[in-house]
């Protein structure tokens, strides 16, 4: 039941990202995975195995950039700063124009997520949010207006419904941002929140009230749907498949919910965050959690994202 170390960081207006982990998504600076590959320009690629092969993943490229930026400010390693800049340059060069003159980064391979099928090229709230966060930090290092303009255009997909080429769904007036923008809706928790954090970074840099509205709408979406991600107030569901999150993803969901509480100050988030956080539980509550998860697992399984 152990999960990878994932830490909550302070980030308002800073160069730190909201979370840090050197072993998340199988991507690590200190202990590189065999699945991590690099092209001739030092851009991260990921080996998905057959039949997909080695591909660019814009979320992973942005995450790799953020990892290296964090490492640079911890160690002052020039190579880390170079790696950050290489990924940012790739993001600028490889942006595409989506609907509504948005800036998008596509996944150029087909993907199945449960019963949901995404045909290449497709986009994601997760990759758009992480890319915005990456571009904002690059802008804070070097006041190049192209970076900020691209981040603005990247936010436009949060205005557009899936049917119109965006990542947004609306149900009974409530807004959601989808990691997998296709039907049937999967509604992955972490992909939703990574998108929100990108919008929050853009708002903090610009104080644009329209961006704040996009962020606030998404926060309301998380609030309204949180009960559907919450298993007995002890663990998180990965999405709406009915599968519990594996330990790594539960730890990620817990930290992301903590970040969302800190920047939104919503007491609903605080209660569930504390309930999910195993490090805050006493011995008997941990035993109860493990027992309930064991019984649940007999009739279900961990989702393998």
CATH number of the domain residue 237 falls in: 1.50.10
Residue 147 has pLDDT above 70, yes or no: yes
Our CA dihedral for 247, 295, 302, 114, rounded to 10 degrees, sits at: -140
Q: How many other CB atoms sit within 10 Å of the CB of residue 233?
A: 12
**CB-side neighbour CA atoms (13 Å) of 168:** 19
Q: Is residue 244 part of a domain?
A: yes
Query: Is residue 157 one of the residues assigned to a domain?
Result: yes
Please tell me the distance from the alpha carbon of residue 214 to that of residue 209, in angstroms, as a whole number.
9
Q: What is the distance between the alpha carbons of residues 7 and 20, in angstroms, rounded to a whole number? A: 5
Q: How confident is the model at residue 242 (pLDDT cuts 50, 70, 90)?
A: confident
Q: What are phi and psi of 122, to 5 degrees?
A: -135, 160
Tell whether the model's pLDDT for residue 297 goes beyond 50: yes
Do the domain assignments include residue 5?
A: no
pTM for the full predicted model: 0.93
Task: Examine the pLDDT at 105 and tell me if it is beyond 80.
Answer: yes
For range 165-185, the mean pLDDT = 97
Instruction: List helix spans (H) across the chain.
Output: 58-75, 78-93, 125-141, 145-155, 189-206, 209-229, 247-264, 267-276, 283-299
Taken as a whole, the chain contains a residue count of 305
pLDDT in tens, 37-48: 999 999 999 999
Note whether residue 1 is domain-resident: no
92 beta partners: none
Q: Is 4 a member of any domain?
A: no
Domain membership of residue 133 (yes or no) is yes
Residue 78 structural domain:
10-299
Whether 305 maps to a domain, the answer reads: no
Number of domains composing the chain: 1
304 domain-assigned: no
């Amino acid at each position: 039941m152990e999960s990878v170390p994932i830490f909550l960081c302070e980030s308002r207006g800073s160069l730190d990202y909201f979370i840090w982990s050197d072993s998340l998504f199988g991507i690590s600076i200190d202990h590189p995975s065999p699945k991590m590959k690099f092209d001739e320009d030092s851009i991260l690629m990921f080996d998905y195995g057959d039949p997909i092969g080695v591909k660019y993943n814009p979320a992973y490229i942005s995450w790799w950039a953020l990892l290296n930026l964090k490492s640079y400010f911890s160690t002052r390693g020039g190579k880390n700063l170079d790696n950050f800049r290489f990924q940012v340059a790739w993001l600028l060069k490889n942006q595409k124009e989506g609907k509504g003159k948005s800036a998008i980064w596509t996944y150029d391979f087909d993907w199945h997520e449960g019963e949901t099928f995404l045909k290449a090229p497709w986009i994601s709230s997760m990759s758009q949010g992480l890319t915005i966060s990456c571009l904002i930090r690059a802008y804070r290092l070097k006041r190049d207006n192209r970076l900020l303009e691209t981040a603005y255009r990247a936010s436009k997909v949060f205005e557009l419904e899936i049917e119109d080429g965006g990542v947004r769904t609306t149900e009974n007036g409530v807004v959601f941002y989808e990691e997998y923008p296709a039907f049937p809706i999967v509604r992955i928790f972490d992909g939703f929140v990574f998108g929100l954090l990108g919008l929050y970074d853009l708002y903090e840099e610009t104080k644009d009230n329209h961006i704040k509205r996009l962020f606030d709408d998404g926060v309301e979406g998380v609030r309204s749907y949180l009960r559907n991600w919450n298993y007995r107030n002890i663990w998180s569901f990965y999405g709406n498949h009915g599968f519990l999150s594996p330990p790594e993803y539960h730890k990620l969901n817990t930290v992301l919910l903590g970040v969302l509480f800190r920047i939104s100050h919503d007491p609903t988030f605080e209660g569930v965050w504390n309930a999910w956080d195993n490090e805050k539980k006493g011995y008997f509550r941990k035993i109860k959690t493990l027992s309930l998860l064991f019984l649940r697992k007999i009739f279900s399984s961990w989702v393998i994202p």
